[in-house]
Amino acid sequence: MKITIRGKNIDVTEALKQYIEKRVSKFERFLNDASEAIVTISTEKFTHKIDVLLKVNGHLIQAEGKTEDLYSAVDQVVEKLEKQVLKYKEKIQNKNKKEAVKYPASASQETEQTKRIVKYKKFDLRPMSPEEAVDQMELLDKDFFIFLNSFTGDVNVVYRRKDGNFGLIEPAR
């Protein structure tokens, strides 16, 4: 697994780098197809924040830890990642079981006064089904997810509704 460690407003010491690599590399045995882990360390006033993004077989698993102590923030984010990785593995196993049953012969915050954009983000849109997009959204622990619908070729959005179900937004033709 390739581990990239970046620091924002903080110098990453060799000891900290080794500690993070030791803690994050344990996911390699759970996710044999994990290709990359991106760790971003930032500090504001007395709070340390660690973001970890695991890229696994085209899926993204993300967690964030915030504490006053840098090392405990690493431990916190690793605990969150463990839960999400187990959730991911469980979904993959359930998906494989469902496919085996279906195909037994085949293997397989803005202020009210001034509203402005405060964050810009770009990412690649992968073709996937709405069900896969919901799985990806849950892995990232987000309330919505933008994807390229593999059936229609259009950009779609899945979102979590207040009643706990999911919604799909498609462009009108």
Q: What is the CATH number of the domain that holds 49?
A: 3.30.160.100
d(Cα 169, Cα 157) in Å, to the nearest integer? Answer: 5
135 and 98 assigned to the same domain: no
- The pLDDT, as a whole number, for residue 109 is 45
**pLDDT for position 95:** 72
Please answer whether residues 46 and 70 qualify as being in contact, where contact means their C-beta atoms are separated by less than 8 angstroms: no
Check residue 59 and give its pLDDT.
Answer: 80
User: Which of the listed residues 102, 119, 152 is the one where a domain comes to its end?
Assistant: 102
The domain of 6 spans 2-102
pLDDT of residue 34: 57
How far, in whole angstroms, is CA 145 from its chain's centroid? 11
Which residues, given as ranges, of the chain have pLDDT below 50?
105-111
| Rounded-to-integer distance, Cα 25 and Cα 29, Å | 8
The structure's pTM equals 0.59
**Strand duo 59-67 + 127-128: pairing:** unpaired
Q: In what order do the strands lie in the sheet with 127-128?
A: 127-128, 144-149, 155-160, 166-169
